[in-house]
Amino acid sequence: MNRYLKKLPALIGIFIIFTACAPDNEKVLFEQASAIDARPFLTESELFRSVTESFEEGPGKPVRALVVPHHAAAAALAAEAISRAAADPPASVIVLAPNHYNEGPAAASTKLDFLSHGTRVSADMAAIDRLLNQGLIKLNDELFIREHSVGMLVPLISWYLPEAEIIPVIFHHGYDEYKIIEIIEALKPETDAGAVILASIDFSHHLTRDEAIEKDIKMREYLERGDARTITGLDSSYIDAPTVMSALLLHFGTDDMEIITNTNSGILMQNPITPCTSYFTIQF
């Protein structure tokens, strides 16, 4: 039996208790301290569906970084990739993600904890303070309250890596890839200790299913040859966080890169016409 499915009875029990309680009681249970509520980004039913639909990976090569989608329609793909890190659970997870609103600091983080479904994911204060002290990021809690590029992943992190703390950083579109590498290098104490980087990236946007497939064929070529320069200049018809992807390629190279999955929401939803989003999951 999938060892994660063993958690289902407990979580279902939590769900029953919450639904039986008045809203004020739920608020008391969760709001013991100021925190960011990630539950709306991936609902309890979406979380259960994603972890049961995904194929849980067994022990494999060590996970240094993963590229995962932040679109709820592709949560099962993100779950499958993140499950790879569960064989050797890291103490911290570094989430590098786009700031979809392009507001606030160009590179922003938060020290607030995140609330998932019945759990709390704590911020790695020491790591975040180091980034602040080096002038690599600024704090802005407001941005994370509505930013799904981090919030959608929190319930999956909590599910597969329940002891991990989170180091979230979001970037304005086009934020310099070499500055992102500086952040990765400043977190070397964490990565040396096994911290996993989650690059939260969706790929082609606003195209039909077949158009997205064509873009992804080109994207696969750029990825496989490590063409960070070309990826940096791409627009949202290819990728929503090009410089985050480029930073990973420049930092890790492609020798140990594995493209796990590539698909799009048009394929998943069997809709060839409606504009869709495409996804790659990748391991370094």
The bridge status of strand 120-121 relative to strand 138-139 is unpaired
pLDDT per residue as tens digits for the range 220-259:
999 999 999 999 999 999 999 999 999 999 999 999 999 9
Distance from C-alpha of 93 to C-alpha of 161, rounded to nearest angstrom: 9
What per-residue confidence (pLDDT) applies to 60? 77
What per-residue confidence (pLDDT) applies to 178? 98
What per-residue confidence (pLDDT) applies to 53? 83
pLDDT per residue as tens digits for the range 102-161:
999 999 999 999 999 999 999 999 999 999 999 999 999 999 999 999 999 999 999 999
Q: Could you give the residue ranges of the DSSP H alpha helices within the chain?
A: 8-20, 23-30, 44-53, 75-83, 125-133, 141-145, 148-151, 154-160, 177-186, 188-192, 209-224, 228-232, 242-252, 265-268
Mean pLDDT of 165-184: 98
Distance from C-alpha of 156 to C-alpha of 95, rounded to nearest angstrom: 12
What per-residue confidence (pLDDT) applies to 58? 61
The answer, yes or no, to whether residue 180 has pLDDT greater than 60, is yes
Contacts of 140 (CB under 8 A, 6+ apart): 104, 105, 108, 109, 110
Computed on alpha carbons and rounded to an integer, the radius of gyration of the chain in Å comes to: 18
Task: Please report which confidence band the pLDDT of residue 10 belongs to, taking 50, 70 and 90 as the band edges.
Answer: very low
Task: Please report which confidence band the pLDDT of residue 55 belongs to, taking 50, 70 and 90 as the band edges.
Answer: low
What per-residue confidence (pLDDT) applies to 33? 52
Using an 8 Å Cβ cutoff, are 158 and 93 in contact? Answer: no
Using an 8 Å Cβ cutoff, are 105 and 137 in contact? Answer: yes
Strands lying side by side in the sheet with 35-37: 35-37, 113-115, 120-121
CA angle 34, 198, 82 (to 5 degrees): 100
CA neighbours closer than 13 Å in the CB half-sphere of residue 169? 31
What per-residue confidence (pLDDT) applies to 54? 72
Task: Please report which confidence band the pLDDT of residue 12 belongs to, taking 50, 70 and 90 as the band edges.
Answer: very low
User: Where are the chain's structural domains?
Assistant: 47-283
Global pTM reads: 0.87
Distance from C-alpha of 248 to C-alpha of 284, rounded to nearest angstrom: 8
**Superfamily in which the 47-283 domain is placed by CATH:** LigB-like (3.40.830.10)
Q: Please provide the size of the chain in residues.
A: 284
Distance from C-alpha of 82 to C-alpha of 24, rounded to nearest angstrom: 34
What is the average pLDDT score of the chain? 90
Mean pLDDT of 164-188: 98
